[in-house]
Chain A
Amino acid sequence: MAIDEHENEPKTSLGRLTRRSFLSHVGAATAATAIAPLASSSASAEAAPTEAASTKIPGTVPITLRVNGQSHAVQVDPRATLLDTLRETLHLTGTKKGCDHGQCGACTVHVNERRINSCLALAVMQQNAEITTIEGIGGPENLHPMQDAFVEHDGFQCGYCTSGQIMSAVAMVKEPWGKTDADVREAMSGNICRCGAYPNIVAAVQAVRRMS
């Protein structure tokens, strides 16, 4: 990785916070709303709720979500969308918010292997679902072929819609579309790229389709 991404930054990820530093910074009453912990491993899938989840926060309800093969027991506002829960509670911020109205596709995730707009789903209604986010597809050091194709074909500029584009593309490859570029353009038109990297997105998707 050539970019010194976290230089000079305060701690931003849950993984680097100890419980002590966390509680010393904020009152315990607000702790659970501020961050809810990720379950540590998939072994805890059906385990009892973790500490923070058992802390009753006014206005929130306990739920368990299965994301990227791991179960997470969390407290969420019953109005919380799947998108906001992924981002604000589970800190899986690879999934982006672009419109909150199902109009741009930036928040695309897989629910039971189908692509959906996570801004149009309530978290409390996804408790029995297998949810996959961009983090579950591949990381910077172990890219999925679709992610690698997006880099190779420069299928993005700013990168903000990219998670959604790739989640759409990975699902689209398994959907019954025709072989032409026009089919890809049609299938990918629910994902807006304001930078307009569309020709390269089509090239990336077609490269992966030809591989498989």
Chain B
Amino acid sequence: MDQISESKIIGVATRRVDGPLKVSGAAMYASDHHFPGLLYAWPVCATIAKGSIANLDSAQAEKMTGVVAVYHRANIGKLYRVPPAAGMSLILDEKRPPFEDDEIRYYGQYVAVVVANTVEQARAAAESVKVTYNRDKPDANSKLLGSPLTTDKPEEKSKRGDTATALKSAKVKVDEVYTTPVETHNPIELHASVAVYDGQKFTLYETSQAVVNHRDVLAQMLGVPPEQVQVITRFLGSGFGGKLWPWPQSALAAACARNLNRPVKLVVSRQMMFQNVGHRPAIEQRIQLAAEPDGKLTAVQQDYVNHTSMLDDYDEGCGEITPFIYSTQNLLVTGGLARRNVGNPTAMRGPGAVPGLFALESAMDELAVSLKMDPVQFRLKNEPEMDESLNIPFSSRHMKECLTVGAEKFGWSNRTPQIGSMKKDGVTLGWGVAACSWLAARSETQASVELRQDGSARVACGTQDIGGGTYTVLAQIVSHETGIPVSKIDVVLGDSALPSGPISGGSWVTASVTPAVLEAAQKASQALLLVAVKSDGSSFKGKKPEDLELADGMVRQKGQAQGAVPMAEVLQIAKVNSVSGQGKSEGTLEDSKPKYSFHSYGAQFVEIGWQPEIARLRINRVVTVIDAGRIMNPRPARNQIEGAVVMGIGMALFEETMYDSRSGAPINNNLADYVMAVNADTPQIEVTFLDYPDYNLNALGVRGVGEIGLAGVAAAITSAVYHATGIRVRDLPVRIEDLLPMPKVNIA
């Protein structure tokens, strides 16, 4: 593959091109769109988690002021099921269309929707719809290992060697269970759908991390050809996976707009965000590790079970990283799903890898303690030469350097391993470390680039910017190829009518758009050179296009600054408004026989401060070293890693969605009771990028940084907590009561 190492703009810290719109409130998010005649929809949510609707009485609601319609199973009209997913199309988690039957399978399931002239009227009427239920006892139990599964036995996910024998004969072993609770994505932007229907075509303003898939899914559900659906997400108030696939409110808004022939806005409430738009499932993982006394791993076994909903199978895939992160002859990963009366789980930032690495890296720390080995040295000792699960080479792996550079920056050599042995200003310190990894990939992508007479360029791709800086990345790639400054490049994203782009997930947008946008820009440049040699009045007329080049926004003889003519002038002389080019990236995701194992790597070092006398646990500082290929734009990349560390602190110390065992309701369904890290929780965070280009992935050597920064953080924190307190917390989040010695009380 081509290698582009020199660039004036790739790898250079660049201000976000969409920054001024975002800081002035001018960026248009889904629910900001407004249309003449707009109506407001408010769903009615089931107040049981299992059972069926006995009676739904909307008479009173229908009479209320401003109410236009109340829809439920009997009158919503046709909403179809979607055929099985094919590649990156037709994906959704909750496959049952809303109102399909009268069964209730999770708390908060939509049972009706009210449409009214104002949002207040819609909400009040929704609260006046009287629903009675045949109530069954729900199961939201978070005990998962040993539960009945959706399959006869756990599914084998990865296997090599003979783990059972190796574990039996092992000299040093760890065998523990780690649990992670339901986490709710909680982007600050509420899920929202604004549906406009003109009698034939649907224009849907959605909170979507994947506009093209969203279009395909909604076209199927509505029973119309995809050309009659356009999905627009100009700006997304992030998603963290929760906005990857369509949720039922989208079909409801579209159906209401269809039925009434009026635009309809449906904004999901924060309470509904805990019920109706996905979550990271509850997970239990048993990890068994074995090693020789010298620290060589001999066996790794991971058995996980995650909960899923009553109708759909969501597999968290906790063995995502386990098979290749360390060298071991014997390895087994199994996974199973257990049904619960909960809304559908879905991918949340770093799905599989993040909870999987919490368990695996915690166990690695426990084994290092048993071996009396330094946890950094223990990991270095088990570095693999190749991806032992696939027997293929790593494309670009610098895990060892992540650990050694991180140790150096953190001051790890000053660590004393004894529990509670490190103090500063009367505070007990704990130091912990964890390794991390996340996949790297390309997803099939198309893009177009236009070079225009006014000296500007336009680049279009049906992907999204969810906060990672995709708008700026596309401008950088076009600027690199054409020399046109970023400020003169219009970037158009977030529209299913554009050339099909990647989902904003998997940390693969940057790697995916790179080849497509480079090719589109090259083709547009070639079209421009053709104009230059063919046009009357052009100083290049009659020359061969292959002898010319577009550099610094000027057409010139290859390598000669003299006689260069600005792009705008070339087009003006030719009386041509614009030239364009299309580009395409091949995906790596569907490659059944990959030549390389593509992943990013990192190391997380954490210092906590523990004051038992006032029961105060704080994260003091975090040092993160990331090997994620060449970094396209260091400014937003650093921001993403820092933000991921902040989310990791939430995961380790705060976040847990709790279900009432009697009602099945998520009881802490608001942002005061579901605690997320705030500014005051943020420690000093030092991020280092190793910046080794991965040219096997694309010509710029870029991978992606959306998820890797979250992986490993929780394990590094619990390991630091152990180092300070001697208490190993295996059930997240760490609670202050976990760390306090409990008096023995005999309850008679």
Contact = CB atoms under 8 A, between A and B. Distances in A.
Given A25-B36, A182-B680, 8 more contacts: A1-B20, A8-B232, A99-B670, A158-B189, A158-B237, A158-B466, A161-B188, A200-B642
A21 B35 CA distance: 11
A70 B21 CA distance: 22
Given A5-B21, A21-B36, A160-B237, A196 B645 contact: yes
B118 A159 contact: no
Interface in B1-39: 15-29, 31-38
B120 A3 contact: no
Contacts of A135: 24-26
Interface string B174-215: 000000000000111110000010000001000000000000
Given A59-B121, A194-B240, A98 B19 contact: no
A176 interface: no
Nearest to B22: A159
Interface stretch (B424-432, B486-494, B552-560): B486-494
A2 B120 contact: no
16 contacts: A34-B37, A91-B34, A96-B188, A97-B267, A104-B671, A106-B188, A134-B25, A135-B24, A138-B24, A140-B24, A143-B24, A154-B16, A159-B237, A186-B679, A189-B679, A194-B188
B117 A33 contact: yes
A158 B19 CA distance: 10
Contacts of A10: 35, 196, 203
A179 B476 CA distance: 37
Interface size class of B (residues with CB under 8 A): 35 or more
Contacts of B468: 157
A175 interface: no
Given A12-B35, A59-B121, A79-B120, A93 B28 contact: yes
Given A26-B262, A99-B671, A198-B646, A147 B24 contact: yes
Contacts of A201: 679
Contact of B25 (A77, A158, A163, A185): A163
Given A12-B34, A77-B118, A134-B25, A196 B647 contact: yes
Interface in B98-129: 117-121, 124
Given A33-B66, A140-B21, A166-B23, A101 B671 contact: yes
Interface of B: 15-29, 31-38, 40, 65-66, 117-121, 124, 186-190, 196, 203, 230, 232, 234-238, 240, 262, 267, 269-270, 458, 466-469, 471, 475, 486-492, 495, 497, 635-636, 638-640, 642-647, 670-672, 676-680, 682, 685
A79 B671 CA distance: 22
Contact of B671 (A33, A35, A103): A103
Interface string A146-165: 01101110101111111100
A177 interface: no
Nearest to A33: B117
A30 interface: yes
Contacts of B17: 2-3
Nearest to A84: B119
A33 B234 CA distance: 26
A70 to B, nearest CB: 16
Contacts of A189: 678-680
A123 to B, nearest CB: 10
A28 B22 CA distance: 35
Interface of A: 1-14, 17, 21-22, 25-27, 30-31, 33-35, 57-60, 77, 79-80, 84, 87-88, 91-101, 103-104, 106, 133-135, 137-141, 143, 147-148, 150-152, 154, 156-163, 166, 182, 184-186, 188-202
Contacts of B646: 196, 198
A11 B33 CA distance: 9
Given A96-B188, A97-B31, A98-B190, A195 B117 contact: no
Contacts of B487: 2
Contacts of B121: 59, 77
Contacts of A191: 679
Contacts of A200: 639, 642
Contacts of A80: 118-120
B638 to A, nearest CB: 8
B24 A188 contact: no
Nearest to A188: B679
A27 B32 CA distance: 23
A31 to B, nearest CB: 8
Contacts of B267: 97
B642 A196 contact: yes
A158 B467 contact: yes
A14 to B, nearest CB: 8
Contacts of A1: 20-21
B119 A185 contact: no
A84 B643 CA distance: 29
Given A77-B118, A80-B120, A93-B28, A2 B189 contact: no
A143 to B, nearest CB: 6
Contacts of A182: 680
**Residue in B37, B490, B646 whose Cβ sees the most chain A Cβ within 10 Å:** B37
Nearest to A93: B32
A158 to B, nearest CB: 3
Contacts of A12: 28, 32-35
Contacts of A193: 188, 643, 679
A154 B40 CA distance: 35
**Residue in A58, A59, A80 whose Cβ sees the most chain B Cβ within 10 Å:** A59
B188 A196 contact: no
10 A-B pairs with least C-beta separation: A94-B25, A160-B237, A196-B643, A159-B22, A196-B646, A158-B467, A26-B37, A157-B467, A151-B19, A93-B32
